[in-house]
Amino acid sequence: MIEKHYQPSDIESRMSLIWEDSRAFSAGRPERRDARPFTIVIPPPNVTGSLHMGHALNNTLQDILCRFERMRGRDVLWQPGTDHAGIATQMVVERQLMERQQPSRREMGREKFLDRVWQWKAESGGIIINQLKRLGASCDWSRERFTMDEGLSRAVVKVFIELHRQGLIYKDKRLVNWDPNLLTAISDLEVQQIEVKGNLWYLRYPLEGKTFNPGDPSSFIVVATTRPETMLGDTAVAVHPDDERYAHLVGRHVVLPLVGRKIPIVADEYSDPEKGSGAVKVTPAHDFNDFEVGKRHNLAQISVFDKEARLLLTGNEDYLRGLPEGAAELAEELHGLDRFAARKWIVARLEDFGFLDRIEPNTHMVPHGDRSGVVIEPFLTDQWYVDAKTLAQPAIAAVRSGATTFVPKNWEKTYYEWMENIQPWCVSRQLWWGHQIPAWYGPDGKVFVAETEDEAVGNALGYYVEQEVITAEQGREMALDRNKRAGFITRDEDVLDTWFSSALWPFSTLGWPDQTPEVKRYYPTDVLVTGFDIIFFWVARMMMMGLHFMKEAPFSTVYIHALVRDEKGAKMSKSKGNVIDPLHLIDQYGADALRFTLAAMAAQGRDIKLAASRVEGYRNFATKLWNACRFAEMNNCALPPKFDPAGAKEVLNRWMAHETARATREVTEAIESYRFNDAAGAIYRFVWNIYCDWYLELAKPVLLGEEGEAKSETRAMVAFARDVILKLLHPFMPFLTEELWAVTAKRDGLLTLASWPRKAVALTPEQVALMAAASPNEPLLAPILMAADTSELSDPAAEAEIGWVVDLVTAIRSVRAEMNIPPATLTSLVLSAASAETQARVPRWSDVIKRLARLNDISFTDRPPEGSVQLLIRGEVASLPLKGVIDLSAEKIRLDKELAKADSDIKRVDAKLANEKFVANAPEEIVEEEKEKREAAVARKAKISDAIERLRNAAS
RNA sequence: GGGCACGUAGCUCAGCGGGAGAGCACUACCUUGACAUGGUAGGGGUCACAGGUUCGAUCCCUGUCGUGCCCACCA
């Protein structure tokens, strides 16, 4: 028995348990051993995070695909898991420590801190998984993985070592994006350029050998800068080689104000004569461009900041080298000053001495850390880099060749743009939470990359014995005795970028580097579903790593969905605090309603601005289906064994079979082509507008009537269509449909494992033969198409008849409303000059028409009775004799309007047909269509004129 | 500076070369035997603007205005 009311929360918790107990979502179910696999890896959410709207959309779409393919018989693996999210998680725990006034990370030390993070992971790691389950995600939960679990960590180490051996990972000292707050390097992608209103400071750098005089421009050169404080680290001034203003100065030197350092004026094309003064200060240690200029001109790199972006001058030999007397005093004074304070101090002092030429307001982009929000400092450090340029080549080729395609396609351009201009990927992070880099350093700093410390020790001892740094005897002793070798080599303290392990996700989760059966069966995966915001972070890197290590692209399709934005259209993010909680909507309306809403709004290439009223509307849709199923149940509608919808005899049932086939085709094709909104729209219309509004209504008289063949066939069709609905809707509303599947009939198994309705493809035997000839290597193709050929369900006669009933009922209702006839007033219907077809139809439908159109009688005459409302239904006149009830003048107005409409239709078509160019150029079928339209309109006009004429006679 | 979207009913959004659609909101009526989380009927749009291509443009092209996003080291 179906409960009277639809209660989403009850159903959802119950169904979750049933699916879990039956292991319905397990990959590799024995009965599907021979089935084609279908694999999706979940974009692993942050292990300590919670479900936001983006997750809800992302996982709803994946789940639709997985449930769809599972019902189509594929062996589905939806691989779940979570990401350790290096910086994010470490920040969360550090914040907790601060809030609880506990010892800081550094005070605790690495080991204790990591214990603490693992503890936090244990506490909160299950939350998001449970939230995904609440959403209905049909992952194979028995296979859940975590990027830092043992197996995945082995994959990370293996990849690092391999890439290092191949020269594709290397250590380099160069400028990195340094976050002075988090005290770590970050990658280019983690830097956000933010527009900041600032200034352009024009500084006078005195020429060597001249006496500086602010009033004498020939005694100095003006440079413009947005960062005056970095002048302490200047090692040159650059001008453009072709800039005649400065040609005579190239090769000469300036004396750096305040500091006293003598630095050259060099010619370099980087300098743009149009910008600033045309001369630019060069600070190789604190600016990416200047770094390159410095390399070209062999300039010193003087780093003047420490890790926290405070001036590091005292004891800074690079800085102090070659400075005149007194410079050390300045260094003492400024040492430790924050970069922004330093800016103020230096500008003020430059002004005092006449070195400040002028200040111009200037708005420019300033790099900020996307996690910490502070200004990024280009900083000279040793870091590990991945040679992304090399790895990118096969990844580009895979998309070019079509081995991997993006949906929608326009994202491929974005992908190419980035991949073709890819920079070395800085993968080391000065954090503790993550995969520690498997590299050890010997006493002279030489690097030993190895899987384990023991292996690194072995390599190091071998090397140093060979180099005669230690004797063979010492080497043997140290190899045998842990204590003796303690501290001989030390491990790199840094960890890897979180995305390094994420990049391996499509194969590391399957057990790689072991050659597991899962790796063989489920790699490469079929589809990756993700948002465009992580194409660079994740998709591109999975492509690179997958192709490099597995020799095959990790997925054949990348479906890029929209972002769910907040009500203002802004991107939702934790830092902005504008996150809408999907769980709140689930509590309120149910997971099914939320899922359906997201699918219905997931049109390709458009962002989703979510309105709660929309969710409510689709909850109502669920209720509607619920009640329709109750109706079927009340009328004892059940599917008899071996029911053949194509063999239905009743017109109504033939029509329904036809509509069911059509809905099946629409939904199937829409999901196949990732048009989730179209699929949702098709099933919505089918359930509400076809099944509920018309089919069940039209079936009522039969269902309430006498037992007999018609009644049993109708009961069967009601049940058949309901079952198709439950199947088609299951990927979108899994809980509701599974519940209804269970309670509406005795079933052999779960809906989620039931078979998808076969797609109705109307093909002629010739077409089938052609297709079979075109793909001889797919022997199954032709039989499938033949079996699925439900063209016999297409039934124009039934469609015409039901269409007539619908039109008639709708027209009567409309005119009754217009004439303000109360529902309780029953009228009679008179059909005039009815065709044989109509006369045959009436007995079949009189009950229905009377019921739906509020009639008490239907009769036939030759001519419409006087004083009646006359309706034109498919070319015939249907009248409601309402003499005395209706207002004749109002009826006249109504008919005049219709006449005018018919007239204007004729005129429009005539204009077209009179246009020779139209007739000559438009496709034949369009012209033909227009002619038919004209004929229909002319006929309609004639009938309406007649009706008006009759009305006039009645009035007189 | 480069790139990608988007401006369609009051709101949120589909559609996209041959007479404008949905959900919600709105108006009127209806406790009819699945459903008031419902039913029936209805109002509401020069499809941002201006050119062009075309027999025909909401749809294709160009430009303008507006909005959003991504990328970029330009002082």
Q: What is the mean pLDDT of each run of 10 residues along chain A (956 residues)?
A: 89 94 92 92 92 90 96 95 92 91 91 94 91 95 96 96 96 92 91 87 91 90 92 92 88 90 91 86 93 91 92 88 83 89 92 91 87 90 94 94 90 90 93 95 92 92 91 89 88 95 97 95 95 90 96 94 72 66 90 93 79 87 95 94 85 91 88 92 93 95 93 95 94 96 90 81 54 46 34 72 93 89 90 94 93 93 88 90 79 86 86 88 88 89 90 78
| pLDDT value, residue A791 | 41
Quickly give A693 CA vs B39 C1' distance in Å: 10
Q: For residues A552 and A546, is the Cβ–Cβ distance under 8 A?
A: yes
Amino acid at A610: L
> Nearest CA to the C1' of B2 belongs to which residue?
A417
For strand B, the positions having any atom within 7 A of a protein Cβ are: 3-6, 11-15, 18-19, 22-25, 28-35, 37-42, 54-56, 67-75
Residue A578's pLDDT is 64
Q: Which residue is nearest to nucleotide B54 (CA to C1')?
A: A921
* CA–CA dist A279, A264 (Å, integer): 12
Residue A842 has which token pair? 């009436």
Q: Which nucleotide is nearest to A917 (CA to C1')?
A: B55
Q: Is the peptide bond before A367 cis (omega within 30 degrees of 0)?
A: no
Nucleotide nearest to A273 (CA to C1'): B75
Q: What is the DSSP letter of A354?
A: T
The CA distance from A328 to A322, in Å, is 11
Nucleotide nearest to A613 (CA to C1'): B24
- C1' of B60 to CA of A203 (Å): 55
First-residue to last-residue Cα distance in chain A: 62
User: For residue A630, which nucleotide's C1' is closest to its Cα?
Assistant: B34
Give the per-residue pLDDT at A52.
86
* DSSP conformational letter for A104: P
- Give the pLDDT confidence score for residue A328 in this predicted structure: 82
Specify whether the CB–CB gap between A191 and A368 falls below 8 A.
yes
Cβ burial of A61 (10 Å; 0-12, 13-18, 19+) is buried
The rounded distance, in Å, linking the Cα atoms of A90 and A429 is: 12
Residues 6 or more apart whose CB falls under 8 angstroms from that of A98 comprise A104
pTM assigned to the model: 0.92
Q: Which residues contact A57 (CB under 8 A, 6 or more apart)?
A: A561, A562, A564, A598, A602, A608
- Residue A290 CA and nucleotide B73 C1' are separated, in Å, by 9
Distance B38 C1' – A861 CA (angstroms): 38
Tokens representing A23?
């292991």
Give the DSSP per-residue string, A199-255: EEEEEEEEBTTS---TT-GGGEEEEEES-GGGGGG--EEEE-TT-TTTGGGTT-EEE
- Can you give the pLDDT at residue A485? 85
What Å value separates CA A570 and C1' B69? 10
For residue A404, report the phi and psi dihedrals to the nearest 5 degrees: -125, 130
Q: How far does the CA of A76 sit from the C1' of B59, in Å?
A: 39
List strands edge to edge, sheet with A490-491. A447-449, A439-441, A490-491
CA atom of A923 to C1′ atom of B17, Å: 12
The predicted structure's pLDDT at residue A783 = 30
Q: How far is A376 from A190, CA to CA, in rounded Å?
A: 10
- The count of other CB atoms within 10 Å of the CB of residue A78 is 26
Q: What is the number of alpha carbons within 13 Å of residue A426 lying toward its C-beta?
A: 23
The spacing between the Cα labelled CA in A607 and the C1' in B64, in angstroms, equals 25
Q: Distance from residue A878 (CA) to nucleotide B23 (C1'), in Å?
A: 34
Closest nucleotide C1' to the C-alpha of A201: B75
Q: What number of residues does chain A have?
A: 956
Report the SS3 class of residue A732.
coil
Asked if A19 and A25 count as a contact pair (C-beta separation under 8 A), the reply is yes
Which nucleotide's C1' sits nearest to the alpha carbon of A411? B4
Cβ count within 10 A of residue A151: 17
Strand pairing category for A876-881 and A827-832? antiparallel
Minimum-distance nucleotide, CA of A688 to C1'? B35
Residue A559's beta-bridge partner residues?
A: A407, A529
